[in-house]
Structure 1
Amino acid sequence: MFEFDQYLGFLAFLTILTIGFWLMIFLLMFVVPYWLGGNLLERYKEWKAEKRAKREAL
């Protein structure tokens, strides 16, 4: 059915596919929410500083 080279190629393909799948899951579950949360926190800090600067200018 398969020769040994084809079997190794198939295993390499499955390994790369599986690593890519789990990397995508990791990025969607941890990295993207971390990035969004940090971005929102920075925008909030900038908004707060801008509000404080307007208050001090008056």
Structure 2
Amino acid sequence: MFDFDQYLGFLAFLTILTIGFWLMMFLLLFVVPYWLGGNIIELLKERRDKKKAAREA
């Protein structure tokens, strides 16, 4: 059915596919929301500081 080389190639393919899948899940579920959340918080801080500076001036 399969030669040993084909079996190793198939295992390598499955390994790479699985690593890619979990990397995409990690990026979509943790990295991107963390990045967006940090940017939104910084944007709100900048707006708050700008309003505070405008009130004081």
Length-normalised TM-score, structure 1: 0.93
The runs of 5 or more residues in structure 2 that have no matched partner are none
Deviations along 1:8-38, whole A, 9 cap, x unmatched? Answer: 0110000000110011011111111110110
Please report the TM-score for the alignment, with normalisation by the length of structure 2.
0.94
Runs (5+) with no aligned partner, structure 1? none
Match of 1:46?
Answer: 46
Aligned residue-pair number: 57
Q: What is the aligned partner in structure 2 of residue 26 from structure 1?
A: 26
Q: 2: CA distance between counterparts of 1:13 and 1:47?
A: 49
Please give the alpha-carbon distance, in whole angstroms, between the structure 1 residues aligned to 2:9 and 2:51.
60
